[in-house]
Amino acid sequence: MGDFKELRAWQEAKELAVLSKAAIAKLPRDERYALGDQWRRAAYSVGLNLAEGASRRGPTEFRRYLDIARSSLHELEAIFELATAQGYVPDSEMKGLQVTRANCARMVYGLLRKMSDRSR
């Protein structure tokens, strides 16, 4: 697949992890180890799986890592819903996170479609 850093999906995932760190710091102290830790791991998982998958041979292996990244993006969507419902993160900041997550998800879905087309 080449250099993972050239993937737009990875660049967006990197931005998502950076934005997430700032938002996680705003969580109440009692949520930093539960919700915050889960949020951090899911945010890191997206970019790390894109990087690892891009180094694999062939579309089938890359697709497996893309599926994991996609699952982490869905997990982040649920985490954002929980954090919003409890008022942990200001709406303006959450909106930026949601837009970045959605952009990354579109790119990951695009890569999945591309890999599916190659395997046919």
pLDDT at 118: 65
Query: Of the given ranges (29-33, 66-70, 80-84), which has the lowest mean pLDDT?
Result: 29-33
CATH number of 4-118: 1.20.1440.60
pTM for this entry: 0.92
Joined together, the tokens standing for residue 58 give: 């062939």
CA separation for the pair 52, 61 (Å, rounded): 10
Residue boundaries of the structural domains of the chain: 4-118
Render pLDDT for 45-77 as a digit per residue (tens, 0 to 9): 999 999 999 998 888 889 999 999 999 999 999
Taking CA atoms, 12 is separated from 1, 6, 29, 43, in Å, by 17, 11, 28, 11
CA separation for the pair 62, 56 (Å, rounded): 6
CA separation for the pair 2, 88 (Å, rounded): 39
Q: What rounded mean pLDDT belongs to the chain?
A: 93
Residue with tokens 């915050």, as numbered in its chain:
36
